[in-house]
């Protein structure tokens, strides 16, 4: 691209992750002139060091759990080739008419102006870009707690763990959220000794309690050790790493070759010059209007992890599409309150809508309906009899939530999410003809 001192666009997007690049493509298709800026790699965290490489490892871990020999080095090379292939696809997408893709670091000047210092060019004056509207889609990074020894060699986040060259004999994971559980599943399947240390009383706090507990128990049967209600006090190192933690007033130490810290994520707001422009930020990230995702400054929007509302790649994408529609004055039917999510362990866990604990806390009248994989012909044929479906309905039998543990849970939850978006009832779900034999028949036979 020929360098220009000034570029004018209808829309500037800062960040080329799933929210950024999908929004840019959609906006260009709607006739907007889009400039998108990325300081690292196209595809963002999800593609380069998050969802995609992790799922590639999940696939190989599943093969290993089935007894298929898996070479760790070849597995990591396959993961990287997938990332590079998809990254090339995103870069190609950003070359479509109507989009200008710039590699550089952006900072806000005002509600319509962005300064960009080009990557690998610290000498040249920043480019000045102007646009009618600006979308911030800079994502998030791993959040490290203030633990003594957290900066020692061998203490890593998920980003560094995805680039290791040797399989660790012993892995300690601090945090039993989605990232911690997926990596516990992966590395145990590959043969590592895995210990998970979690401060809360159960793993996966956003998931239905029954589902989370059942998944933990299944991983424990496979040899993953959990220490719940435990706080890490320090990490030290000699021949190996030593993680000291306290549980119910007693101190214990876990030895490790690698320690994964998976204790949440923090919004990437540094360097954007938000304070000077007047964009409000709180502890979660950039504060936005719940309907339009506009920030405290008119014509500046924030989508995805950087606003801290729903830290999911697909949430970023659909928030971005919604913002473009808002800018164009178009109404859409995107319901961001119905947000399915999944944990890609073996078996999968997935959910959409309210969990049982949330319904109870809200005082909402509900009925729970359950179904079991062990009663499903396809599940037995697949050797996947471990599984539970919990579906919740309100007083009118409309579906208000569904949480599943079992094979292809993510696919089944997606079907329920579709029904919920149409305010569907349990009877309407039952009346929908399902292919036999499939796992989704469980949804039609809930008690």
Q: Which residues are catalytic?
A: 436
Q: How many CB atoms lie within 10 A of CB 445?
A: 14
The structure tokens listed for 34 are 């889009």
Tokens 């999510």 belong to which residue?
341
Tokens 């923090």 belong to which residue?
266
Alpha carbon distance 346, 64 (integer Å): 12
Which of 10, 53, 19 lies closest to 38, judged by CA?
A: 19
């Amino acid at each position: 691209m020929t360098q220009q001192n000034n570029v004018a666009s209808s829309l500037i997007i800062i960040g080329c992750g799933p929210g950024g690049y999908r929004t840019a493509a959609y906006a260009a298709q709607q006739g907007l002139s889009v400039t998108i800026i990325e300081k690292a790699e196209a595809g963002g965290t999800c593609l380069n060091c998050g969802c995609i490489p992790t799922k590639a490892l999940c696939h190989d871990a599943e093969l290993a759990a089935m007894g298929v020999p898996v070479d760790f080095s070849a597995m990591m090379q396959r993961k990287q080739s997938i990332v590079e292939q998809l990254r090339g696809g995103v870069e190609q997408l950003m070359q479509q008419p109507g989009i200008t893709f710039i590699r550089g670091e952006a900072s806000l000047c005002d509600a319509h102006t962005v300064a960009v210092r080009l990557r690998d060019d610290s000498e040249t004056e920043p480019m000045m870009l102007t646009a009618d509207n600006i979308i911030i889609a800079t994502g998030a990074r791993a959040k490290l707690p203030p633990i003594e020894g957290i900066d020692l060699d061998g203490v890593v986040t998920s980003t560094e763990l995805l680039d290791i060259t040797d399989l660790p004999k012993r892995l300690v994971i601090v945090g039993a959220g989605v990232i911690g559980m997926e990596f516990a599943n992966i590395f145990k399947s590959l043969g590592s000794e895995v210990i998970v240390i979690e401060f809360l009383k159960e793993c996966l706090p956003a998931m239905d309690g029954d589902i989370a507990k059942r998944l933990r128990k299944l991983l424990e049967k496979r040899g993953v050790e959990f220490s719940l209600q435990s706080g890490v006090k320090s990490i030290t190192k000699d021949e190996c790493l030593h993680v000291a933690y306290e549980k119910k007033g007693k101190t214990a130490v876990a030895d490790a070759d690698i320690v994964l810290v998976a204790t949440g994520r923090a919004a990437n707001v540094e360097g954007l010059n938000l304070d000077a422009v007047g964009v409000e930020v709180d502890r979660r990230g950039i504060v936005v209007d719940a309907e339009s995702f506009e920030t405290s400054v008119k014509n500046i929007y924030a989508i995805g992890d950087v606003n801290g509302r729903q830290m999911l790649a697909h949430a970023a994408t659909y928030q971005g599409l919604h913002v473009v529609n808002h800018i164009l004055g178009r109404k859409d039917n995107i319901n961001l309150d119905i947000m399915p999510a999944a944990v890609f362990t073996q078996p999968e866990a997935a959910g959409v809508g309210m969990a049982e604990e949330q319904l109870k806390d809200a005082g909402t009248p509900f009925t729970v309906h359950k179904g079991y994989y062990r009663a499903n012909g396809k599940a037995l044929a697949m050797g996947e009899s471990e599984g539970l479906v919990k579906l919740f309905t309100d007083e009118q039998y409309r579906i208000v939530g569904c949480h599943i543990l079992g094979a292809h849970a993510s696919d089944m939850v997606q079907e329920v999410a579709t029904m919920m978006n149409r305010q569907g009832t349990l009877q309407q779900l039952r009346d929908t003809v399902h292919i036999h034999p499939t796992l989704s028949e469980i949804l039609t036979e809930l008690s």
